[in-house]
A and B are shown apart, each in its own frame.
Chain A
Amino acid sequence: MSIPSSFRLSTFLTLAFAVGSLGYAETSLFPEVGVFAGVVLLCLAAIYWYDERAERVTLADANKLGAGIALVSTGWVAYRLLREIRLGEFSDMGWQALGMALFGVVLMLLIPAKLLRSEKHSGDWWTMHAMGLASVALAAAMASDAAVVLLITGFTICGVWSLAEFARERSAGGIPPIPAKGELLPMASPIEVQQHVHGLNVRRCLLWIGLAAALAVPLYMTTPRSASGRFEFGKPRVEIGYASDQMINLKRTGSLEENPEPAFEVLAQLPDGTPKTDLSPNQRWRGTTLNRYDSGSWSPERYRLPAANGVVAPRPTEQWEPPDLGPTTYRLTFKILTQDGSQFLADPVMWAAGQPSPAATLCSFGPLGWASAGDGSGTFIRARCGRVGSAGAPAPYVQFTRTPAEPDLGPGFELGQNSDAYLLPIVANYPPQAKEFADELLARLIREGKLPTEADGRNGRGRVRLQPPPKHHEAIARAFSNYLAESPEFTYTSDLKRNHPNADPIEEFLFDLKSGHCERFAAALAMLLRSQGIPTVLVLGFRGCESKGNGNYVVRQSDAHSWVEALISRPQTGDDARGDGRTWHWLSLDPTPTRLSEDERQDDAGNAFGRVLGKVKDAFEKYVLNYTPARREKVIGAIVGLGRSRMTWLVILAGLGIFGIVTFQRSRREATVLESEPGRWYAQLLDVLAAHGFRPQSGDTPREFATAVSGELAQRSATSELAEVPIEWAEAYYQARFGDAPLSTERRAELEARLDALASVLKT
Chain B
Amino acid sequence: MRSSAEPLEVSETIPAGQLRLTTAGLTWLGVTLALGGIGWFKSMNLVLILGYLMLALLLLNGFLARAQVRRVSVLSIPIPPIFVGESTRLIASVRNLSSRDVTVSLSDPIGPENGWFVDRLAAASGCECTVRKAFGARGRVVAPPLRVWSGFPFGLIRFERPVTHSSREVFVLPALGNADAEGLRAWVLRHAGGDGRARKVLRRISSDSADVRGVRPFRPGDSLRAVHWPSTARRRELVVREYDSAPSPDLVVVVDPWVPVSPTTLQRANLEWALSLAATVMQTWTTAFHTRVTVALCSDSTSKAWSASGGEEFVRDSLVPLAEVRGTPAPRAPEPSAFDRSLAGAARVLISSREHSPLADALLRTTGRPFVFIGPAERLHWYQPPAESSQA
Contact = CB atoms under 8 A, between A and B. Distances in A.
Interface of A: 126, 130, 133, 136-137, 140-141, 143, 148-149, 152, 156, 160, 163-164, 166-168, 170-173, 189-197, 204, 208, 211-213, 215-217, 219-220, 223, 225-226, 228-231, 623-625, 627, 666, 669-670, 673-674, 716-718, 720-722, 745-746, 749-750, 752-754, 756-757, 760-761, 764
Interface in B39-61: 39-50, 52-53, 55-57, 59-60
A195 B120 contact: yes
Given A213-B53, A673-B99, A757 B8 contact: yes
Nearest to A190: B114
B198 interface: no
A133 B50 CA distance: 10
B75 to A, nearest CB: 4
B153 A164 contact: yes
B29 to A, nearest CB: 14
A226 B42 CA distance: 7
Given A137-B47, A223-B40, A196 B101 contact: yes
Contacts of B122: 196-197
B80 A670 contact: no
A756 B131 contact: no
Interface string B140-174: 00000000000111111000000000000000000
A163 B154 contact: yes
A760 B93 contact: yes
A673 B123 contact: yes
A666 B99 contact: yes
B325 to A, nearest CB: 21
B44 A194 contact: no
Closest 5 CB pairs of A and B: A717-B313, A167-B155, A231-B42, A216-B52, A212-B56
A753 B97 CA distance: 11
A173 B112 CA distance: 12
Contact of A141 (B5, B44, B73, B95): B44
A748 to B, nearest CB: 9
Q: By CB atoms of chain A within 10 A, which of B8, B49, B98, B103 has the most? A: B49
B128 A624 contact: no
A757 B95 CA distance: 11
Contact of A745 (B35, B41, B57, B97): B97
Q: By CB atoms of chain B within 10 A, which of A136, A717, A722 has the most? A: A717
15 contacts: A140-B39, A168-B153, A171-B151, A191-B116, A192-B112, A192-B115, A192-B117, A194-B94, A194-B116, A213-B53, A215-B56, A670-B98, A717-B80, A752-B126, A754-B10
Interface of A, secondary structure class, is: helix
Contacts of A219: 52, 56
Given A160-B57, A166-B155, A220 B49 contact: yes
A172 B117 contact: yes
A140 B36 CA distance: 12
Range class of the B interface residue count: 35 or more
Given A674-B124, A756-B128, A761 B24 contact: no
A601 B279 CA distance: 94
Contacts of A716: 313
B118 A194 contact: yes
Given A212-B60, A213-B56, A761-B77, A140 B120 contact: no
A191 B80 contact: no
B113 interface: yes
A173 B45 contact: no
A725 to B, nearest CB: 9
B129 A192 contact: yes
Nearest to B34: A137
A754 B46 contact: no
Nearest to B311: A717
Contacts of B6: 721
Q: By CB atoms of chain B within 10 A, which of A208, A716, A764 has the most? A: A208
A228 B43 contact: yes
Contacts of A196: 101, 118-122, 125, 127
B43 A225 contact: yes
Contact of A152 (B41, B50, B118, B121): B50
Given A231-B42, A720-B5, 17 more contacts: A152-B46, A194-B117, A194-B119, A195-B120, A212-B53, A219-B56, A220-B49, A225-B43, A228-B43, A674-B97, A717-B311, A717-B316, A722-B8, A752-B126, A756-B126, A760-B91, A761-B77
A669 B75 contact: no
Nearest to B314: A717
B7 interface: yes
B75 A754 contact: yes
B37 to A, nearest CB: 10
A193 B105 CA distance: 9
B377 to A, nearest CB: 35
B17 interface: no
A1 B115 CA distance: 20
Contacts of A149: 46
B321 to A, nearest CB: 16
B49 A191 contact: no
B75 A756 contact: yes
A753 B73 contact: yes
Q: By CB atoms of chain A within 10 A, which of B39, B41, B52, B121 has the most? A: B52
B89 interface: yes
Given A140-B46, A192-B131, A220-B48, A669 B99 contact: yes
B78 interface: yes
A553 to B, nearest CB: 29
B31 interface: yes
B249 to A, nearest CB: 24
A211 B60 contact: yes
